[in-house]
Amino acid sequence: MTGVFLGTLSLTTIYSKILEYAGPRLMSTLGLDINFLVTLTVLCFAIFTSAIYFRDGVKSLLYDYYSCTVKVVSQDPLFSALMTFLEEEGAFNMSKVESQQSQIGEQDTEVKEKGWGQKMKAGLKQSNKIKYAPAPSCEDFFYYKPTGTTITIIREEIPNSQSSWWNPRPKQQVQLTVYGKDPTPLKMLFEEVVERQNNKDHGRTAVYKARQGSEGGATGAEWIRCFTKPVRSLDTVILDEKQKEEISEDLKEFLLPATNKWYSNRGLPYRRGYLLYGPPGTGKTSLSVALAGKFGLSVYALSLSVAWMNDDTLALLFSSLPKNCIVLLEDIDACGNNNSNTKAGVQVSFSGLLNAIDGVASKEGRALIMTTNHRERLDEALIRPGRVDLQIKFAHADKKIIHGLFRAIYEVNESDKRILKFPNDFPDDDEIADLANVFAEKVPEHIFSPAEVQGFLLRHKKNPRRAAAEVVAWAEQELLEKKERERKEKEKEEKEQEEKERGERKERRKRAKEEREKRAKREKRRKEGKASSDDTDTEDEKEEAKKEDDKRVVYSLINEDSANIVVNGINEKMVGGVAKDVVKVNGSA
């Protein structure tokens, strides 16, 4: 080690010299024996170490034979509720915590069934929340007042695990231990956790979504709770009242305990399926969420179009559903049908979808709501009775729906008018009713979706008179844009179909060329006397060779100017197909 040199001596040399001469004199002056000090230090260390081992041994014995322990893994829906409860109760030592799932600017609106003004006012009050959790492997002690018991809390990371494919952090678990043979304190604590969570969820609808886990495939799919939203009243879903009542009463009857017993007594699977179909923006998803809110159910939303979703993950997700929930399967036509007309990028097969819905491993007690914009693309096997028990058609807005949308937007209470600072001359309810009639008469029915009409009204949410006056110009402009979009979409479809047919023709010609080359090589070996048993033509190959010869005859007989085909003793059905193909290739009319 180098030091700062003073002349020829460094500071380190000076210090060592001082200790060498002053150390023994100091010990002698104090009357201490260096050997005694060393012995005492070693003895103290041995006693301290023994005490630690003794404590750990006693603790281990108590833990193994005289304690009750519960472990909750991070994949359990109870994990988040438990950690929130412990944080609220101040169970964590703040010197040994870490922030967890912090979201800056997260809105916490606890408004339920109130007017727009209250919702907006609450929404403007953002709270920056930072959640704390005990650091891994740290031990905390929580005094649970209802039972007067101290509960030990240890949060651990599970070895050789990973939370998800995008989160390399290990999975976690929280361990709660109470010393004694009575598990009542832990049971009471978990009951309070669930009760508090239910109170928070009261008047709100929880939405879960599927997420790929750490390993992907069949072992990596799981449901995660994304958010909760205020319960939406069915009255806010502008739809034919008979249709709303029909599906609402059907679901209500299905959820009755007596219905479960009725299904069981007759050996029927206790499941219910609904199909909501119609153009986009007509309220299919809104109705699904409103139904969940009315009956206090959670929504488990699932998309078949995600890249990691396959037959195994879909089956796993369906098998892990809880009872009494709504599964929302949107854009079901993405899976295609029994003829394998599956959209590009979709890994779920049609048979895999059917097995997940009502296969052997499919859970009972859930209501499945499937939505699609194109019912005609669905295979009848998917929507047969037993899989789909009720179908609801959604259409573009008619006069009644347009009228209802107008009144739903503009009929607000006085409190909302003050908070939103509506103009003093805002129409009263009677004038709103008259304006709604005028508005409905001006908008052509069965042309626009409810979402499109609502979008226009929201542009003028404080001025219904202006909305009624300008709707004609808006409708005309929208119609022009719709026609232009339809024209472009049609051109795109025609181009895609043409490219598909061109690719199929190219593939057929390629296969035909390969077959001709294969037969030519085989014929050459025969002439050279080198043919083997594999060189014998099968019946199918002979038939294919005959077709190829016939095609060459047909091609040679095509008149390039008129595309007339002279059929000379050739199978007419076959020639017709070949001629049609040739005409397309040559571009002849």
pLDDT tens-digit profile of 15-55?
566 656 666 666 666 666 667 777 888 889 889 888 888 88
Angle at 70 between CA 64 and CA 72, to 5 degrees: 135
Query: Beta partners for 71?
Result: 175
Residue 226 DSSP SS3: strand
Query: Rounded distance, CA 447 to CA 376, Å?
Result: 20
Q: How far apart are CA 499 and CA 504, in angstroms?
A: 9
Alpha helix positions (H), 283-349: 284-294, 311-319
Q: What is the pTM of this model?
A: 0.67
- State both tokens at 75: 């994949």
Do the beta carbons of residue 201 and residue 96 sit within 8 Å?
no
Q: What residues contact 387, with CB distance under 8 A and at least 6 apart?
A: 273, 354, 357, 358
User: Do the Cβ atoms of 450 and 440 come closer than 8 Å?
Assistant: no
Cα 127 to Cα 210, 385, 509, distances in angstroms: 28, 49, 67
CA distances in angstroms from 159 to 96, 136, 172, listed in the order given: 21, 12, 9
Burial 480-498 (b: 16+ CB within 10 A, else e): eeeeeeeeeeeeeeeeeee
Map residue 283 onto helix, strand or coil. coil
Which of 274, 346, 271 lies closest to 311 in space, CA to CA?
346
Crossing angle (nearest 10°) for helices 464-527 and 429-442: 40
Question: What are the angstrom distances between the C-alpha of 289 and each of 236, 285, 300, 361, 454?
Answer: 11, 6, 10, 26, 18
Mean pLDDT for back-to-back runs of 10 residues, the chain (589 residues): 49 63 64 72 88 80 78 83 85 60 41 40 49 68 85 78 53 84 89 90 89 56 86 87 92 94 92 93 92 93 86 88 90 68 69 87 88 90 90 92 92 80 86 93 92 93 92 93 91 91 90 85 78 63 64 51 43 45 42
What is the per-residue pLDDT for 11?
58
Q: Is 280 helix (H, G, I), strand (E, B) or coil?
A: coil
pLDDT at 246: 94
Q: Could you tell me how far CA 589 lies from the centroid of its own chain?
A: 51
Structure tokens at 284: 């299919």
Strand partners, 302: 329
What pLDDT, on a 0 to 100 scale, did the predictor assign at position 30? 65
* pLDDT at residue 565, rounded to an integer: 43
CB of 448 closer than 8 Å to CB of 396: yes
Q: Using alpha carbons, select from 373, 370, 374, 402 the residue that is nearest to residue 387.
A: 370
Q: What are phi and psi of 152, to 5 degrees?
A: -85, 130
